[in-house]
Amino acid sequence: MAYTDKEASSNSQKKSEPEDSGLRLAVDSSRNSSPPAESENMAANNKPQDISGTTREAPNRSTVGGGSELSINPSQKQNPQSDEQQPMPGTVSDNPPLRNRKSSTFADLGMKLRRRRSLAQSDLMAVFYPPHNMSQHIITDTPFEARQLEGVKDEDLNKLELDGVPSWEPTLERSIKAIVSISANCVRSFDTENGGFYTATGFVIDAEIGLILSNRHVVNPGPIVAQATFTNYEEVDLIPVYRDPIHDFGVFKFDPSKIKFLDLQEIKLAPHKAKVGMEIRVVGNDAGEKLSILSGTLARLDRNAPNYGTGRYNDFNTFYLQAASSTSGGSSGSPVLDIYGDAIALNAGGHQKAASSFYLPLDRVVRALNYIREGLEVPRGTLQTEFVCKSYDALRRLGLSPEIEEGMRYKFPEKTGMLTVQNVLPKGPADGHLQAGDILVAVEGVPIVDFVSLHEIVDESVGKSLKLTIWRNLKAYDVTVDIQDLHSITPSSFVEVGGGVFNELSYQLAHTYCVPVQGVYVASAGYMFSMIGAYRRSVILSINHQKTPDLESFYKAISNLTDGSRVPVRFYTLGSKYLERVSIMNVTCHWHSFRIAHCNNKTGLWDYTDIPLPMPSISEPQPQTAYIQKLSDNLKPANSIWPSIVTIDYYVPYLVSGTKFLQFYGPGLIVDKEKGLIVCDRDTVFTSLGDVYITFAQSIVIPARILYMHPIYCLVVLKYDPKLLGNTPVKNAKFHPDYMSGKKRLNHGDQTYLVGVGNDHQPVMRSTHVASRSLIRTKEAIPPRWRTVNCEGVALDDQPPTQGGILCDSDGLITGFWVNISTQNSKGKEVSFASGIDANLIVPVIESLKRDENPVLRHMDIDMWTIRLASARPLGLSSERIKQVEELDDNIPQLFYVRSILDPESEAGKLFKSGDILLDIDGQFIKKITDVAILPDDKKEVEITLLREGEEITMKVPTTPLYGMEGTRIVCWAGATFQSAFLAVREQLRTIPSDIYVSSTSYGSPSSRYDIKPNSFVIEVDGTPVKTLDDFYKIIKAKEDNAISADKEGDGDALTQSMHARVTLVNMQEKTSVVSVKLDEHYWPLSQMIRDDSTVCGWRTLL
């Protein structure tokens, strides 16, 4: 039975649902899938799964002076006349003369226009703009009044020309050359971001050294691979050189010499030019389009930072600008331009249900840029405190004194509020010093009413202490707070282990959930940690009783473990921070690498360092003995069977063979305790690639390996080491001899007993009767996966909910298996049901395995179904055949026909046609489905008589061998998983294009970005046909080797050719496509796994 948890069904981890704020980051993402599991509002389908130092606990240096009065003397106020507003930079102060002065009317009009422009900019008077039928460029930032145009004829308006006044057309023509479309792959989930592909916008701010400004959520806090495309479609690689820890901006670097065919431009940053009422243009990659130009008018300059939802990236401690420009996904990082082509802000996000767009002011960007140009680290300080701006009316309700309000209004007449404390993080520098609701009045005696002034002091005081004057409960207080380095609590490293990604908990996430900045954050649970439910947004507190406050202690705790051991892990989820959980984790490091990555801002890569994997125990595992629960007499006959029943947990490290889940569970039955053989259903052990753990007596857990997976019936045989059970009194299951031999089978009305395992792992017993017996119907799945065919099952009158179990008689002798069957309904949704199947179906396999032989069965590659005589008569069935059917004992009169061909390319599959009615096999009339479903290995060829097109035909049919392990090799490249085409794939196609089947792709990988679609086949690489996995592996390995050689030799052309692979694909609908995949051996190297029975898991990884 598969876990229903969505986390287990994809590469993305289970997440708590974030709050729907109605806001969205303006980044456009294309992700296949993992989908992301959480309901984020970011305009990205996948964007997809921290090292910093630990939080420094601030010493108690607070000098809370109860009742100390704030010293702001109104008599010392400055003259407001001295703070005259200067003309907006770039405007025309000495207005140029009008051309074509043909009359005094034009001269008077020109003077009035100039005067009104100045008044409108200063006083924001109501104006309107000239009609769009003017032949000259419309001066959209120069207002007109209606009365000024009265009496002016239309033909005179057409002659009106203004000189020296800017126009949007040349401004945009110049600016567009500096704006780029950014395509990026977040190759690993990290911090607030999910792995995946997305598009956004950026613009050149320094053409000489090659700097591009965009948003932080575009530059991304985690590892990315990004390219910028200029307006003439020249493409350059981008290196992330700076990501602000809090504010939504970051900087890329590129090589300007790579731009050969474009006159490279840069856009100046002018944050001081932003004014309410200013006309703007937002130019960028809106909604993924190459270029969009959106217009708007600045409406606000002091909006609090938008909230994009809990658990996501959120900016804070800054004002935002706002306008109704209707930006959408893909426009993140677009410059907000004035008419002179200067950037006054950076587009960041918008409202989903309104036209409102939000822009980041550029004041702190300008400061950071100065450090970046010098190659220095940008100093950033923090109090681990969030401030918000509240208006004076709200401040009065908080108790702000009239004297302070008067003083602040006089000193800052253009401001309408002050900063207040929104929240203070526990164990941060301000914890115990500041409280929510405190009103910030001054820092080091300097009055503060805005974020820029606050940052100017805090960012320059890292490692120092600052005195803050606050207003609290009608009194002023002075508190001293240490300023912490913000970069020290911003992760720049991560650990990969067990297929997951882990970084130190960031200030971003700690701020969102109001928890201390400490612990190891699960960015992507992967394989090993998903077993215990430590999904994304969990924080690991300890492993095997060793505390993990930071990343170093985390990977050291794992390094000290033993591969194959089971250890306790303590963790909590950020959404339920007070509910700690302890789960037992199986240490399985043999599927994935164990390494740590550090951010390298010079190369843009995250440099990996391998960490030694946990080694298997040197000593032999010690046997364990457990007591098996004795059931009461009321549960007869379950009490005699219970010592033979175990529970099984199965974990899948990769999504192969059509599986959508990573975890499965169900019961098993001991059939040979001396050899350690257990039988379970294929809904519990779905594919051969994975780890099996068996629990005996609900006490002892030991590993097992897959010995045989039945290709047709829903049965699997596992093998464990009996020595590990010590003296645990397990028993072999006892089968009823008549049902074991096939002489008898369960039929309508037969009494039977169901003994199963409930969802609480306790025994379930029910006395019931067989309600019906019929073929088990399953549907071809999408994606293709194994399904039960040609098998009869029984339904019961009373079917209690169980994980599975057995059917037996009153003496406890087994007559059948009670298995779980999974399939899909007509809408493609996963469904499952329970059914009983005959005990004798597994007998040939068990007998071979007991003799240490590899079972080989045969079949005719057909899926059969029943047909009634009423339907067979019109198809030409003779009266003799009808009589033959009617004379059968213990059987409903019916025949079997070919419903579909399981492998159209096999020798047997080529001989049959859909609709063929089967009559005889080797001269014997076909009475039951078991007569033709599975054949012994010595039946290399059989003689089949069938009815086709009204005529009986007899033909020799070569049978196809069936092996108990479908698939012995897996190849991983570019984040995609490739395997040989298995039976479930072959039955859905007439012709298999190749034996290289794409099973799955990973978020953030080149395969996902460049559209290598799952459920498709690779037929060519760089024009060379490939037929097998070996062909494919060799040609990709050669390309990677050539790329390494070209890079060492400095051969740019050869490197470019080797870094791209043209892959030709054919999908399940036989449609051909060609994609060009850029190799990424750093994050997504070529590797393979092969079947190896000498290992515990049955597989070995080769790099």
Token reading at 533: 């439910």
Token reading at 151: 């009496």
Q: Which of 34, 52, 141, 217 is catalytic?
A: 217
Angle at 202 between CA 197 and CA 208, to 5 degrees: 125
Angle at 1012 between CA 1009 and CA 1015, to 5 degrees: 135
Cβ-based neighbours of 267, under 8 Å, separated by 6 or more:
175, 178, 179, 203, 204, 205, 335, 337, 341, 342, 343
Output the DSSP codes for 451-464.
Answer: HHHHHHHHTT-TTS
Is residue 1003 within a helix (H) or strand (E), and if so which, with residue range? Answer: none
Q: Residue 492 catalytic?
A: no
Token reading at 59: 């010493």
> Whole-angstrom Cα distance, residue 568 to residue 622?
19
> Whole-angstrom Cα distance, residue 872 to residue 878?
9
Is residue 832 helix, strand or coil? strand
Cβ-based neighbours of 702, under 8 Å, separated by 6 or more:
621, 693, 694, 696, 720, 721, 724, 725
Helices (H), 708-787: 737-741
Give long-range contacts, CB 8 A cutoff, 24+ apart: 144-149: 144/113, 144/116, 145/112, 145/116, 148/109, 148/112, 148/113, 148/116
Q: Residue 83 catalytic?
A: no
Cβ-based neighbours of 856, under 8 Å, separated by 6 or more:
937, 961, 962, 963
Across the chain, how many H-helices and E-strands are there? 19, 60
Do residues 450 and 415 touch, judged by C-beta distance below 8 A?
Answer: yes
- Whose tokens are 């000189």? That residue is 163
Q: Which of 141, 248, 363, 683 is catalytic?
A: 248
Do residues 515 and 424 touch, judged by C-beta distance below 8 A?
Answer: no
Do residues 153 and 105 touch, judged by C-beta distance below 8 A?
Answer: no
Q: Residue 590 catalytic?
A: no
Count Cβ atoms within 10 A of the Cβ of residue 418 and give its class: 0-12 exposed, 13-18 middle, 19 or more buried: buried
CA atoms within 13 A on the CB side of 953: 13
Q: In angstroms, how far is the first alpha carbon of the chain from the final one?
A: 33
* Strand pairing report for 28-30 and 196-206: antiparallel
> Whole-angstrom Cα distance, residue 837 to residue 790?
12
Q: Which of 331, 401, 506, 1007 is catalytic?
A: 331
Token reading at 61: 């240096």
> Whole-angstrom Cα distance, residue 885 to residue 873?
12
Can you name the residues that pair with 664 across neighbouring β-strands? 2, 650
> Whole-angstrom Cα distance, residue 767 to residue 310?
51
Number of other CB atoms surrounding residue 255 within 10 Å: 12
Token reading at 45: 């389908």
Give the catalytic positions in this structure: 217, 248, 331
